Structure 1
Amino acid sequence: MITMDSSLAAMHHQALQRQARQRVDLLDELRAVQNVAKRNFNQRDIAEILVTSQAKVHRMLKAIERRNGNLDLDPEEIILRAFAYDTPREKLVADLKGVTYTFGEEARYPHEGRLPGTWDQVVTAVARGFLTETEFNEVRAAVGR
């Protein structure tokens, strides 16, 4: 494990913020593609409107399809947006307390493994350093976990 001084810790934090902004930007881009596609434009026209390539639009439409068209705001996005754009932590915790969570469950036969729920996104955020243990515990107490 690397021992970081304050300047390295600051660079690490900035790198995490860049990654969070990239993920949030991707979600915003997916929503834009979905909104234009709902108006029955073809991929080439969507690309022209959104100033991107047809190939990228194709990949994004496939990603939307894999999500069954569901691009609703979820706990992961709430956390990433707060981390990326320095939202006050109190607002983040309040927003997370207001979410209706789903919890992981075992996959049904013939599949194996575990299907994650939205609560897993909160747990993952703690492990990645986007949410503190104190914030997690406050949300957990409010959710009743």
Structure 2
Amino acid sequence: MSLDLKALNQHLSTRSYVEGYTPSQADVGVYTSVGSAPDAGQYPHAARWYKHIASYAQEHETLPGDKEASLKLFAAGASGAAAPAAAAEEEEDIDLFGSDDEEDPEAEAEKQRRLDEYNEKKKNKVKPVAKVRLNVDPDF
């Protein structure tokens, strides 16, 4: 299987590994498919990654993961949309702050009622008289 080194280099421009944050079988699978170190001038990120994964040669068999899964991303015949589609599948749309696009009409009415009450209280509140500071002679 031939790998698209340009796609691999682009992928590795923002990552240290093919998948995840540690070396895995995905890296080993791509590493063996590349065969030899890519040209560092043309593919600097892929060359850096290749050298790094080569340093794990003793541990290749014990690394976790699936070798075949990542090879589909960088196959020479794969369409350019395959990598972004795979990345989109990985990224889930999780709303950590609980914002909701759909507003509850009852909640909106309650919010408006409270806002009106607050504005009414603020309007009726007596404002304090300005304080005046006199300059008093300390020797007096």
Mark yes or no: TM-score above 0.5.
no
Q: Which has the higher contact order (CA 8 A, sep 6+)?
A: 2
TM-score, normalised via structure 2 length: 0.24
More helix by share: 1
TM-score, normalised via structure 1 length: 0.23
> If you compute each CA radius of gyration, which structure gives the higher value, 1 or 2?
2
